[in-house]
A and B are shown apart, each in its own frame.
Chain A
């Protein structure tokens, strides 16, 4: 079974702090994704990585950056956390190359920014 793990289930941070969310997958998938999930808005793509050190902006990249130094690990960085970044963050991975492939999701990190 594919396993996608996220470093924290719950996180509380202060406004202005730098926040790191880590995601690790164990199936050698090329593609990895970061989404945020908000009530009534569904999932929105923040960033996508199609290979090590390669990334593309999603629909809402402002205020976020990402890092992919190793194939199995994809990090989301909030350079200076703000209250409007309070949300559920979901990481996913997928075999590369075709949009038909299934995305596998981690359990999510619920972030509260005070």
Chain B
């Protein structure tokens, strides 16, 4: 079975600082990898996804993530944090060729300090 581990349940950065949210995955077959964001009192929305086309994936709101097979990682970054980035972020993995087995990490809550 596949799984993801998000390192750090809470991350705090200053406005303008680099955002780095860590995600490591485990999968026995080539994975698809996703980052979702959840703003307060809302559902999840997709930030970006890795579909095996390119290892560096750019998403919405200036976020990007790099797939590193050798490190089984898919960390999310943003060069300069904005107050509006404060939210909970979820990494998720699904196996290619399988329709119904997306697994989510426990989530990382990002706080942005002025």
Centre residue among A56, A96, A97, A100 by max chain B CB count within 10 A: A100
Given contacts A48-B100, A99-B102, A107-B43, contact A43 B51 (CB under 8 A): no
A99 to B32, CA, bound (A): 8
Centre residue among B45, B98, B99, B107 by max chain A CB count within 10 A: B99
Number of interface residues of A (CB under 8 A): 26
Hey, which chain B residues are within 8 Å of A4, CB to CB? 43
Stretch touching chain A among B14-22, B71-79, B88-96:
B88-96
**Chain A, residue nearest B99 (CB):** A99
B17 to chain A, nearest CB (A): 25
B108 to chain A, nearest CB (A): 10
Q: Cβ of B67 < 8 Å from any Cβ of A?
A: no
Number of interface residues of B (CB under 8 A): 26
Hey, which chain B residues are within 8 Å of A48, CB to CB? 100
Q: Contact between A50 and B43 (Cβ–Cβ < 8 Å)?
A: no
B99 to chain A, nearest CB (A): 6
Hey, which chain B residues are within 8 Å of A106, CB to CB? 43
Centre residue among B34, B36, B42, B100 by max chain A CB count within 10 A: B100
A4 to B46, CA, bound (A): 14
A41 to B51, CA, bound (A): 25
**Chain A, residue nearest B95 (CB):** A99
Hey, which chain B residues are within 8 Å of A97, CB to CB? 99
B31 to chain A, nearest CB (A): 9
A39 to B61, CA, bound (A): 25
Q: Contact between A31 and B90 (Cβ–Cβ < 8 Å)?
A: no
Q: Contact between B105 and A42 (Cβ–Cβ < 8 Å)?
A: yes
A97 to B96, CA, bound (A): 11
Cβ 8 A contact of A41, one of B44, B100, B106? B106
User: CB within 8 Å of A: which residues of B?
Assistant: 9, 32, 34, 36, 41-46, 49, 51, 90, 94-102, 104-107
User: CB within 8 Å of B: which residues of A?
Assistant: 4, 9, 31, 35, 40-45, 48, 50, 56, 90, 92, 96-100, 102-103, 105-108
Interface CB pairs A-B, < 8 A, 11:
A40-B107, A42-B105, A42-B107, A98-B99, A99-B97, A99-B98, A103-B46, A105-B36, A107-B42, A108-B41, A108-B42
